[in-house]
Chain A
């Protein structure tokens, strides 16, 4: 693989990028996706910015000065606060679970909320309860009897959830979006690779090309070209996501939702690398352009399976079967980000699965390269996989 090798291979990649990005269908899809991402970021933010009255419970017998602190906490976070007295701690817990109250101040000692916020998240509840804890803490300092301990520990009161800390809902929605993107990118670009290889074969231009370059160059160039297009498209969508998110102050930008998106991007690269060569081999086996869909379909089945189960996993939790899927290289690119989004994929699982995926990618690329070389010049009847693997080079 010397400079000339890469120069020629890059010509194929560039041709693919130029020709595809010129196509009207590509431009229209990109514009639609940009609008979809912008809408997904902007609409929830606009809806959640409706000022509503946040009800804060104050356990009976507490200092009435805390009421002022709670209202002040609402003011600084852009919420209107109504303080309601609560008879008992049990009643407070029930009200929090039902969502009637957003927070309860317990004897000026702690702030109780429904769910422990994940560190770093800045959902409206997390922001508000943080401010509440600060201001109530300040209010607590003023009257006599404020303990030295409270001062040394900082002013803010501890925030406690009545339910254990979850992965936030934002993560689940981000996971949903990430899964959809991984699925769509591999699906559409995979099909496009199959069709593009099939077109080169059925139009016989491949004979002209292979008279000069090696099949691996043609294959590598094509895969790189489509990858360039896919990642450029993803980059545009990512920038749209960030710009819109900053503009409307979306919560999707902060906290662990970003980590979910990042892990998703990593698995998109792994998944694309795994699948792309196989799609090219499928394209090399067809003899009519209309067969491209049938040739690519078997490759899509694991991806479709992992994707169709993912939304159920995101909102109902993972089962052992889905954990197994997360270790099978062909389903892992969708399954692993899903598990990560709901917070049940420890780092070691992620690393083991990624290593398996890379190994599978190498094996697939070798096999696909062989199938491609042996079938791309074969015309006549549809090439059967078994024949190709048995036969020597043609």
Chain B
């Protein structure tokens, strides 16, 4: 992400935008929220937003209008004259988001925009990002909150230890991999019925409420499995499971069998982020 803005040199390859190299003119139309947040602590937030708008090529009038608009939308209307350092952490995050939106960028790059936000702020931020995307902007952000990414993004790229390991549209990734069936038979809380060696089943997992998740081999007969379930009792639930993004992630980084608390070591130098894109 920093390489897009020329803040770090690339080891290899190049970053292109609309087919061309990225220069200063292009960067002026980009918005950036770095992972380590930072704005002028002692500057009034309205002045700060106008300043950043002008820095991205806006005239003072439009910059002021945009600063008014975004402080209004992010619930900062009564804090415009306050210095940034007087605001709470959550409000500072809002200013940071306003700072990268103020010049209506055509590409928004946000490094972990949802880190440290409360659920209400997460909703507000995601709504704004979705709105910018539908208004035609490209939004690229990194996040470890995969449920949110799955909900919000159209396409993702999974990066592990600095290498891209998977990329694709969220829909396609959810449908990729071996098909999985989720079946619950009423009156069978331990999934006894599924332990009799069903044909075409690779593995069986039993959930706490008796829901059995069956990973099928390609070409397995789901109807035969449904029949087997019905023989055991009334079938309360039967569906093909959509693959969660977190499962895609675990499988992709090869940590599927590692206990949850060890999957992403806190001390790892490069935590594998999933990147969501929304063209």
- Give A residues with C-beta under 8 Å from B: 4, 8, 11, 15, 18-19, 199-200, 203-214, 377, 379, 393-394
> Contact at A211–B38, with CB atoms within 8 Å?
no
Chain A at the B interface: mostly helix, strand, loop or mixed? helix
The residue that B40 contacts in the complex, of A8, A205, A211, with Cβ under 8 A, is: A205
Q: What chain B residues lie within 8 Å of A209 (beta carbons)?
A: 55
Q: Which of B1-9, B212-220, B237-245, B269-277 contacts A (4 or more CB under 8 A)?
A: B1-9
Can you list 7 residue pairs at the A/B interface with Cβ under 8 Å?
Answer: A15-B43, A19-B43, A199-B42, A204-B38, A211-B32, A212-B55, A379-B36
- List residues 25-52 of chain B with CB under 8 A from any CB of chain A: 27-28, 30, 32, 34, 36-43, 47, 51-52
The residue that B32 contacts in the complex, of A206, A208, A213, A377, with Cβ under 8 A, is: A208
B56 CB–A CB distance under 8 Å? yes
> Contact at A210–B7, with CB atoms within 8 Å?
yes
B99 CB–A CB distance under 8 Å? yes
> Contact at B38–A206, with CB atoms within 8 Å?
yes
Q: What chain B residues lie within 8 Å of A206 (beta carbons)?
A: 38
> Contact at B7–A377, with CB atoms within 8 Å?
yes
Within the assembled complex, what's the spacing in Å between the Cα atoms of A213 and B52?
11
Query: In the complex, how many angstroms separate the beta carbon of B109 from the nearest chain A beta carbon?
Result: 9
> Contact at A211–B27, with CB atoms within 8 Å?
yes
Query: In the complex, how many angstroms separate the beta carbon of A229 from the nearest chain B beta carbon?
Result: 16
B54 CB–A CB distance under 8 Å? yes
Q: What chain A residues lie within 8 Å of B43 (beta carbons)?
A: 15, 19
Query: In the complex, how many angstroms separate the beta carbon of A224 from the nearest chain B beta carbon?
Result: 16
Within the assembled complex, what's the spacing in Å between the Cα atoms of A207 and B32?
9
> Contact at A213–B38, with CB atoms within 8 Å?
no
Query: In the complex, how many angstroms separate the beta carbon of A197 from the nearest chain B beta carbon?
Result: 12
Within the assembled complex, what's the spacing in Å between the Cα atoms of A384 and B38?
24
Known A19-B42, A212-B55: A204·B27 in contact at CB below 8 Å: no
Query: In the complex, how many angstroms separate the beta carbon of A41 from the nearest chain B beta carbon?
Result: 36
Q: What chain B residues lie within 8 Å of A208 (beta carbons)?
A: 32, 34, 38-39, 52, 99-100
> Contact at A212–B28, with CB atoms within 8 Å?
yes
> Contact at B38–A199, with CB atoms within 8 Å?
no
For A202, the closest partner residue in chain B by CB is B38
The residue that A212 contacts in the complex, of B8, B27, B39, B47, with Cβ under 8 A, is: B27
Known A19-B42, A203-B38, A207-B34: A394·B56 in contact at CB below 8 Å: no
> Contact at B37–A204, with CB atoms within 8 Å?
yes
The residue that A15 contacts in the complex, of B5, B51, B57, with Cβ under 8 A, is: B51
Within the assembled complex, what's the spacing in Å between the Cα atoms of A11 and B57?
11
- 10 smallest CB-CB distances across A and B, nearest first, come from A204-B38, A211-B5, A205-B38, A211-B32, A207-B34, A204-B36, A203-B38, A205-B39, A203-B41, A205-B40
Q: What chain B residues lie within 8 Å of A18 (beta carbons)?
A: 47
Within the assembled complex, what's the spacing in Å between the Cα atoms of A208 and B97?
12
For A14, the closest partner residue in chain B by CB is B51
Task: Identify the interface centre among A4, A19, A200, A379: most chain B CB within 10 Å of its CB.
Answer: A19
Other contacts beyond A205-B38, A207-B36, A212-B55: 7, CB < 8 A: A4-B57, A199-B42, A203-B40, A204-B38, A208-B100, A211-B34, A212-B24
> Contact at B41–A8, with CB atoms within 8 Å?
no
Q: What chain B residues lie within 8 Å of A379 (beta carbons)?
A: 36
Known A19-B42, A207-B38: A11·B55 in contact at CB below 8 Å: yes
The residue that A11 contacts in the complex, of B5, B27, B42, B54, with Cβ under 8 A, is: B54
- List residues 68-110 of chain B with CB under 8 A from any CB of chain A: 99-100
Q: What chain A residues lie within 8 Å of B55 (beta carbons)?
A: 8, 11, 209, 212-213
Within the assembled complex, what's the spacing in Å between the Cα atoms of A295 and B163?
39
Known A15-B51, A204-B34, A207-B36: A212·B41 in contact at CB below 8 Å: no
> Contact at A203–B39, with CB atoms within 8 Å?
yes
For B100, the closest partner residue in chain A by CB is A208
> Contact at A199–B41, with CB atoms within 8 Å?
yes
Within the assembled complex, what's the spacing in Å between the Cα atoms of A211 and B31?
9
Q: What chain A residues lie within 8 Å of B32 (beta carbons)?
A: 207-208, 211
Within the assembled complex, what's the spacing in Å between the Cα atoms of A4 and B59?
12
